[in-house]
Structure 1
C-alpha cells in the first residue's frame, strides 16, 4: 500500500477523537505533531504526575490509549496506519510515528470510532446481571491483538486479593509526600473543567467490590441496586510479557481496544491503576494473580449499569490546538 497524503483538517479531527482517550486523572499527557503523511505522538512531561506516577507508567499507558484512539479515528476517515513505536532512542518522549495509508473502514471500524464519543469511566457499582462469556472472549482477543493479555478474574480469591491490594496501595500512597496535594490539584473539579476529574464523575458513596481511589471531592450519586443485589463488577487484569516503556505503550493501546469494544457492547467500564502505581502491590499482583508469568499493567472493572443509573457526564478535554505542536517546534 502506498503512503497517503494527510490534510490538516482530517488530522485535527482524528487528534480531537484521540484526545478523548482515558488518562490518569484526565491529565491528557500527550502532544502531537502533524506532517504531510504522518502524525507523531510525544509524551508531555509537563503534565506528568510525579507523586502519583513516579515511574511514568500511567503516563505511557495513557499515551498508548490515545495512540489506539488515533488509529481508530484515522481508519474511520479512510486512512489505515503503520505505527513505528519508540522510533528514536535519542528522544524517549517520542512515543510513536503514525504513517497513514489508504484504507477502507468496515462497519465495525466505524462503530468502534463512534464508541470513542460515548465511552465514560463509571466508578459506581454495577448491577448483578452477568456479562456473557462471548463478550469477554472478544475483549480478551482484542487485547491480544494489541500485544497484551487480559485475564478475567473469576476466582473469589483473586477478587478479594485485588480489593485488599487496592486498600494497601491507598495506604501507601497516603504516606507519599506531595501526593495529597497532587490529587487535590487534579480532582474534584467543576463540570466545565477542560482537564482533571470533576466531582460529578466520582461517587459520593464509594462502596463496591473494588474501593474507589480517594479524590478531592465526590458528587455523583451511587447506583441503586435491587434488593438483595450486590455489586456485579467483572474484574480483569491487563498485562504484558515485559515491563519496559514499549510494553506500557502497548498496554495502553490494548486498554483502548478493550474499552471501545466493551462500550460497543453497552458495558460500563472503569480502569483502575492505583495498585499498579505502588511497587509492592504491583509485585503481589504479579505473583498472586498472574503466577509470576507476566507483568501487570492495569485493572479494569466492567459490568452493566443499572437501568435506573443516570448517564455519566463526559469529562472535559483541552482545545485540540493546545495539544498540537508546530512542525518546526523543538523536539520535547
Structure 2
C-alpha cells in the first residue's frame, strides 16, 4: 500500500503543519500499511501548556496534513484516536493510528507548501474571500471588533509575560542567531519573528535579569505591543469547536482553516495570548456571544502578506521517524 520512500515524502509534507512555538512534537512509526502518530511530550511546555492541549492541537494539525499528503498519492486513511494524555514530560505518547486504504485526492493538500505564518503588518487591501465561511469560525471584519481584539491581545500578552516561566519558554524556543545549534531545525527564527538583529541580541536580557527593572520603569508593555500591526489584518478568525471534542480533532480542523486561508492568498498570525489567558478567553466568548458549549481554540489574524514567506525551520526526518521495535 505504501513504500518507505512514499511514506517519508508524506511525513515531510505533514511536518509543514503549524505547531505551538514550532516545537514539532509529532513522531511517526510505520508498520507495513499501518501508521502510528506519537507526541513527543518531552518537547512540551510545562508552564505555557501544562495540560498538553497545545501539543495535542499541534499533533492534530500534523495528522490532518498527513491525511492530505496521503490523499495526493491516492491513499486514504482510517484514523483512530487514542485519547491519551499529552501533558509534558511523559516521553512518547501514542496519539493516533492510521489504517491505509484506497482513497481520493483532497485538493487542499496543494496548500501545504503555500501556508505560512506572517508576523507583521499586512497589505492594505481587502481580501477576496469569495464567500468563505466556516461553521466553526467567527470572522471579525469590522473596525470596532478588530480594535477590541487588538487591545485585549496586547493586554493579555503583557500579563502572560509577567510569568517568568512563560518568558523563559519563549527564549528557549527562539532561535535569535543563526549560530544557535537548533537554528533551521525547530523553534522560532529571528527572521520569522521579524526581529532586528539588535533587538534579538537584547531580548534575552530584557526577558531575563533586566525584566524587574524594565517593569518598574514601565517599559515592559512595549515588548507586547502588536495592536498597530494587528489592525492591518482585515480579518480576525475566532476558531471555536465543541467543548467535548478531543484537542487532536480540533487541531485537524484548525489546519484546514489555515489551508483554506492560504488558498485565498492569505497568511495567518495567531493571537495565542487570547486563548492562553483565561480571562481574555472568557471576555471574547462573552463579547462575541459564543455559545457556552463551544471552546475558543484560537484567534488568528488573516491578511495578504507584504513580503515573501520567512525561512521555514523543520526537523530532519531522522528526528521525526521512529524505528520499529524489535519483535
Q: TM-score, normalised by structure 2?
A: 0.80
Q: In the TM superposition, what are the counterparts of 1:15-94 in structure 2 within 5 Å?
A: 15-86=11-82, 93-94=93-94
Moved segments of 4+, more than 4 Å = 87-92
2:321 maps to which residue? 324
1:266 maps to which residue? 265
2:200 maps to which residue? none
What is the distance in 1 between the residues matched to 2:161 and 2:15? 30
2:139 maps to which residue? 152
SS of corresponding position for 2:164: coil
What is the distance in 2 between the residues matched to 1:27 and 1:37? 28
Does the CA contact (< 8 Å) of 2:141 and 2:234 recur in 1? no
What is the distance in 1 between the residues matched to 2:296 and 2:60? 15
1:166 maps to which residue? 153
* CA gap 1:133/1:263 in 2 versus in 1, 3 angstroms: closer
SS of corresponding position for 2:301: strand
In the TM superposition, residue 15 of structure 1 has moved relative to its aligned partner by 0.9
2:240 maps to which residue? 239
In the TM superposition, residue 155 of structure 1 has moved relative to its aligned partner by 4.1
1:212 maps to which residue? none
Does the CA contact (< 8 Å) of 1:189 and 1:196 recur in 2? no
What is the distance in 2 between the residues matched to 1:66 and 1:171? 30
Q: How many residues align?
A: 289
* CA gap 1:135/1:259 in 2 versus in 1, 3 angstroms: farther
Q: TM-score, normalised by structure 1?
A: 0.78
CA deviations 1:96-122 (Å, max 9, x no partner) are: 1121111232xxx34x32321222100
Q: In the TM superposition, what are the counterparts of 1:84-233 in structure 2 within 5 Å?
A: 84-86=80-82, 93-105=93-105, 109-110=106-107, 112-137=108-133, 140=134, 149-190=136-177, 192-204=183-195, 231-233=232-234
* CA gap 1:135/1:292 in 2 versus in 1, 3 angstroms: closer
Identify which range, 168-177 or 116-125, moves more after superposition: 168-177
* CA gap 1:234/1:11 in 2 versus in 1, 3 angstroms: same
Does the CA contact (< 8 Å) of 1:197 and 1:315 recur in 2? no
Does the CA contact (< 8 Å) of 1:259 and 1:269 recur in 2? yes
* CA gap 1:232/1:300 in 2 versus in 1, 3 angstroms: closer
CA deviations 1:12-47 (Å, max 9, x no partner) are: 111111111111111101211112122111221111
What is the distance in 2 between the residues matched to 1:302 and 1:36? 40
* CA gap 1:186/1:243 in 2 versus in 1, 3 angstroms: farther
> Structure 1 residue 9 and structure 2 residue 5: aligned?
yes
What is the distance in 1 between the residues matched to 2:97 and 2:267? 31
> Structure 1 residue 297 and structure 2 residue 297: aligned?
yes
What is the distance in 2 between the residues matched to 1:252 and 1:89? 15
What is the distance in 1 between the residues matched to 2:175 and 2:48? 16
What is the distance in 2 between the residues matched to 1:113 and 1:242? 28
* CA gap 1:86/1:286 in 2 versus in 1, 3 angstroms: farther
Identify which range, 7-16 or 170-179, moves more after superposition: 170-179
> Over aligned residue pairs, what C-alpha RMSD do you find?
2.8
Q: In the TM superposition, what are the counterparts of 1:266-285 in structure 2 within 5 Å?
A: 266-285=265-284
Does the CA contact (< 8 Å) of 1:238 and 1:251 recur in 2? no
Structure 2 unaligned residues grouped into runs of 5+? 197-202, 207-225
What is the distance in 2 between the residues matched to 1:33 and 1:288? 44
